Amino acid sequence: MRRAPALLLAAALAVTLSACEKSSGSKREYVALGDSYTAGPLIGRADGRNGCVRSRNNYPHLLAERAKLDLTDVSCSAAPTEAVEGEQKIRNRSIAPQIEAVTEETDLVTIGLGLNDLGLSVRVFIKCVQLGMGDPDGAPCTEADQAAGANSTQAALDQMEGRIGGVVDAVMGKAPEAEVVLVGYPSIFPAEGTCAELGIAAADVPLVQHVVDSINAAMAAVAEDRGARYLDTATPSRGHDICSDDPWIAGSAPASGRPGLAWHPYAEEQVMVADLLADLLADLV
């Protein structure tokens, strides 16, 4: 990872932002919306006890510390796009709509959502893994998906641009002057093949990769259409998928001695995202 350049970028960003502080002298306000790929579950000290399993060294906290931003992090594990404007239920708790954290005074909003919509994460990380264990040499998840008809993965993915667009519209409606950045998902799966840590049949990897690629493409399209920004994290994280020699995403269980949650980012991935955001936002004036 580019630690020295990242520190220089962070310093440049801090100077840029400090020069643009509000007339009151207060810090610029940053709101982070998202699911567990934003929350960073179990990679560090917990941020709150509301059931969202959010860590204080996730990328929103890292970016806020470096750039001296006033952070409100309402990312929450398992959050779908509906959690932005509606309550999210976690066990016996109700989590307030994430949009409530956004106000007219908000200067920056990052959004990382989509994989929990319409059961997509369950299909990928539970169903495909279960089917792969029973038929590792076939394509059981792909075959099941093809037989699903109107309930297929593609039918769900076809709705993603509209769902993500609705989130951005809601954010821009409450904070029309805010900089909005859509944060894509990283490289989770290998370019080809599989591994024990992944547990998905090799012939089904193209299907699960298509899910992530499609959500990222929907985010990029919405960003372009709405005048927001899109942060590609898949390209810079290639070579660090679950099956790699240096994974930044945990597989079916975190590696020994590495804090994290199955199927979720390790701390290294969150540092990468914070670095990329610092780079992307260094030109803010």
Q: For residue range 222-234, list pLDDT tens digits in order.
A: 999 999 999 999 9
Write the DSSP symbol of residue 232.
-
| Res 27: pLDDT | 85
Give strand ranges (E) for 16-137.
29-34, 70-73, 88-90, 93-95, 108-112
CB 117 within 8 A of CB 80: yes
Lowest mean pLDDT among 87-91, 195-199, 206-210, 243-247: 87-91
**Spatial distance between the Cα atoms of 254 and 16, rounded to a whole number of angstroms:** 38
CATH homologous superfamily for 3-27+103-283? Answer: SGNH hydrolase (3.40.50.1110)
Residue 25: pLDDT band with limits 50, 70, 90: low
Query: Per-residue pLDDT tens for 113-168?
Result: 999 999 999 999 999 999 999 999 999 999 999 999 999 999 999 999 999 999 99
CB 260 within 8 A of CB 42: yes
Model-level pTM?
0.90
Answer positive or negative: Cα dihedral of 189, 194, 196, 199. Answer: positive
**Spatial distance between the Cα atoms of 258 and 135, rounded to a whole number of angstroms:** 30
With a cut of 80, say whether residue 23 has pLDDT above it: no
CB 68 within 8 A of CB 14: yes
Mean pLDDT of 183-193: 97
Q: Where are the domains of the chain?
A: 3-27+103-283
Walk across the sheet containing 108-112 and list its strands.
70-73, 29-34, 108-112, 179-183, 229-231
With a cut of 70, say whether residue 79 has pLDDT above it: yes
